[in-house]
Structure 1
């Protein structure tokens, strides 16, 4: 499978995850998100950049939803952030759908809280 971004073909696996980490850009993220019916807001970008940072700078960590919620509570300085908050951003699973839009490899672990 593949997707077109600014006239460039980017290869993905059958589930839509990029085959090459280096193919990711914010434009690619916007394209994937639009394909999934998501319009990216600042909170989406915060979560996307958090996931990328964890993967790139923390031994390829792909946080689960509970860890994402805790990180977003700190980042947004909002104790009311819960699983629903991050699922509202990425309804198909913040760690998996968010990771796909962030250009990360497909996670093989079970998702969830």
Structure 2
């Protein structure tokens, strides 16, 4: 499987995660469409948060830490609202839509 973005072919693993992080914003709508997600501003806030975490730590946070970390970015954010954004799992599906490699273990650290 792969995604084509602006004429570039991006390689993925068997589950559709990019093998290498890609921070081009044009990647996000392509992967979101493949995941049947209609992007909103809140999706973009999560994407930016996950990308920042990946850049800083080399991996994305697990769901619990993600929920804590998003408190400043998405005030009033709770687990239900994150699952509304990323129904198959905010930590994993969020990372996939953000154009990041598959999270470690159960969603990172």
**TM-score bin (small chain):** 0.7 to 0.9
The 10-residue stretch of structure 1 (42-51 or 5-14) with the greater mean CA deviation from structure 2: 5-14
Counterpart residue number, 1:101:
97
TM-score for the superposition, normalised by structure 2: 0.87
Matched, 1:64 2:59: no
Q: How many residues align?
A: 107
Aligned-CA RMSD value: 1.5
Q: Indicate which of 84, 88, 99 corresponds to 1:88.
A: 84
Q: Which one has a larger percent helix, Structure 1 or Structure 2? A: 1
Any stretches of 5+ residues in structure 1 without a counterpart? none
Any stretches of 5+ residues in structure 2 without a counterpart? none
Structure 1 or 2, whichever has the larger Rg, is: 1
Structure scoring higher RCO (CA < 8 A, sep ≥ 6) equals: 2
Counterpart CA distance in 2 for 1:50 and 1:24 is 12
TM-score for the superposition, normalised by structure 1: 0.84
- Partner deviation per Cα, 1:4-37 (whole Å, 9 max, x = no partner): 122221111111111222x441111110001111
- Partner deviation per Cα, 1:51-81 (whole Å, 9 max, x = no partner): 1101101x21311112222222222332xx2
